[in-house]
Structure 1
Amino acid sequence: MIKCLVVDDEPLSRQVLKGFIADHPDLELAGECKDALEALSFLEKTRVDLLFLDINMPKLSGVNFYKSLQNKPEVIFTTAYAEFAVEGFELNAIDYLMKPIAFERFFQAVQRVKDKLGQPSANQPIQQYIMLKADKKVYRTPYEDILFCEALGDYVKVHLKDKVLIVTTTMKKLLAELPDHFFLRTHKSYIINKTKVEYIEGNQIKIGNQLVAIGQSYREEVMKALG
């Protein structure tokens, strides 16, 4: 699934795109934002594969917002103004959709995203493990063995079923390598394996014999992701 974020200051435009995303079998809606500043806050907590990004927005344009991102998702620009197309494509945008957007045109743009991302076909195996560097070794670690990850300065403590690895990486880099359908950031210091959650109580999650914190700014996203 391609995880999408819709960023547009017009409620009707957001509604149209959300409907198109819901109708497409390869897309998943991660969220919606009414302006670039809200989107920036969202992307600090949640990784997405694709932005549907309006260009003409108040305070900060979609183009300038996209230029400011360090880790850029793929982007499809949307706007009612054709004169912005050149600037959008100079940023290596996948496509440029003119409002009002037709589903057929939307579908074509998404197909270009799929081609670029190289989505695996149904008979192509999907990787179920991550390579973790710890103790001067590189461990082949199945996702299902990871309970949760804990920040430790310039390192990360990866809590497994039977041991703990002190991994040479940062939380941000590790989160970018872990698949969203398994893992979720619950706090600036914690990433959990969603399949290992036993229960939620207050601002804590029980995993194995440990209680993992839920940060206040992450709580809404955590509760949504865990249903």
Structure 2
Amino acid sequence: MRCIIIDDEPLALEILEDFISKTPFLELVASCSNGFEATSVLQEKNIDLIFTDIEMPDFSGIDIIKSLDNKPMFIFTTAYSHYAVEGFNLNAIDYLVKPIPFHRFLKAATRAQNFLKLKIEEETTIPVQEKTHDFIFVKSEYENLKINLDDIRYIESLKDYIKIYTGKEKPILTLSSLKSFEEKLGKLNFIRVHKSFIVSLKHIYSVQRNRIIIEDKWIPIGLNYRDDFIKKIDN
């Protein structure tokens, strides 16, 4: 994986450079001491992974990530733990608190490698419009999980990930786009009703104006999806 480091502390750059040199699947493209250098590199180079400090003069690590339209994977490396929630809200791969031991760095880098593999597999999967079987397999963390289609209540998009709600206590999180997953499900029993939601027609309890109720969840019906949804349930 091609990566860059962003940190205003020379010692921190040196440590991460050493860690990357010891990790066979990482290739260091650039070490940047500020966000302006990093932005220039990101515009010119193809980068898979960013290691970035958060508190830096002028341009914080969070600012850098928010400024990117097409975000590579990123890992925050910081001396302050109180940014962790915001970091994960931005979908950080990991959050490393300085001083960073090598084993913790390697764990975070391996997690990024696994996510990249899943993304590549997802992008190269041949879409299937209609399924003749009644189950699918999805990758979640380090497992291939079998999910019965009848169990799926609805699917929610979270940027590069989706949550699959099956009626169990915890939803299943997998790396996928909603569009790609819609193609896997087929169009017989599922329909997209919002830019962030696909629902199972089987599990709809009621439709109230611009929302759908499935169990105790209220799901919005997007304006661009309403006509197709109404035609579907009318038929």
TM-score by length of 2: 0.50
Once residues 60 and 24 of structure 1 are traced to their aligned partners in structure 2, the CA distance between those partners, rounded to angstroms, is: 28
The residue that corresponds to 1:95 in the other structure is 94
Q: What amino acid sits opposite 1:86 in the alignment?
A: V
- Cα deviation, 1:40-98, whole Å, max 9, x if unaligned, reads 11111111100001101100110011001011110000100000111111000000000
Q: CA RMSD, aligned part only?
A: 1.8
The residue that corresponds to 1:24 in the other structure is 23
Once residues 36 and 52 of structure 1 are traced to their aligned partners in structure 2, the CA distance between those partners, rounded to angstroms, is: 12
> Are 1:62 and 2:53 an aligned pair?
no
The residue that corresponds to 1:33 in the other structure is 32
Once residues 37 and 86 of structure 2 are traced to their aligned partners in structure 1, the CA distance between those partners, rounded to angstroms, is: 23
Q: What amino acid sits opposite 1:34 in the alignment?
A: S
Once residues 76 and 106 of structure 2 are traced to their aligned partners in structure 1, the CA distance between those partners, rounded to angstroms, is: 14
Q: What amino acid sits opposite 1:96 in the alignment?
A: Y
The residue that corresponds to 1:3 in the other structure is 2
Once residues 52 and 13 of structure 2 are traced to their aligned partners in structure 1, the CA distance between those partners, rounded to angstroms, is: 10
- Cα deviation, 1:119-169, whole Å, max 9, x if unaligned, reads 79xxx9xx9xxxxxxxxxxxxxxxxxxxxxxxxxxxxxxxxxxxxxxxxxx
- Cα deviation, 1:10-30, whole Å, max 9, x if unaligned, reads 000000000000000110000
Number of aligned residue pairs? 121
Q: What amino acid sits opposite 2:71 in the alignment?
A: K
Q: What amino acid sits opposite 1:12 in the alignment?
A: L
The alignment partner of 1:52 has SS state of strand
Q: What amino acid sits opposite 1:22 in the alignment?
A: S
The residue that corresponds to 2:117 in the other structure is 118
The residue that corresponds to 2:130 in the other structure is none
Aligned ranges for residues 103-142 of structure 1 at < 5 Å? 103-118=102-117
Please identify which structure carries the higher strand content: 1
Once residues 66 and 113 of structure 1 are traced to their aligned partners in structure 2, the CA distance between those partners, rounded to angstroms, is: 16
Once residues 50 and 35 of structure 1 are traced to their aligned partners in structure 2, the CA distance between those partners, rounded to angstroms, is: 17
Identity over aligned pairs, percent: 50
Structure 1 unaligned regions, length at least 5: 128-227
The alignment partner of 1:64 has SS state of helix
Once residues 108 and 42 of structure 1 are traced to their aligned partners in structure 2, the CA distance between those partners, rounded to angstroms, is: 26
Q: What amino acid sits opposite 1:102 in the alignment?
A: P
Indicate how the Cα distance of structure 1 residues 47 and 54 shifts in structure 2: closer, same or farther if over 3 A, else same: same
The residue that corresponds to 2:209 in the other structure is none
Structure 1 runs of 4+ aligned residues shifted over 3 Å read none
The residue that corresponds to 1:149 in the other structure is none
Once residues 52 and 99 of structure 1 are traced to their aligned partners in structure 2, the CA distance between those partners, rounded to angstroms, is: 13
Q: What amino acid sits opposite 1:118 in the alignment?
A: K
The residue that corresponds to 2:137 in the other structure is none
Aligned ranges for residues 190-209 of structure 1 at < 5 Å? none
Once residues 117 and 60 of structure 1 are traced to their aligned partners in structure 2, the CA distance between those partners, rounded to angstroms, is: 27
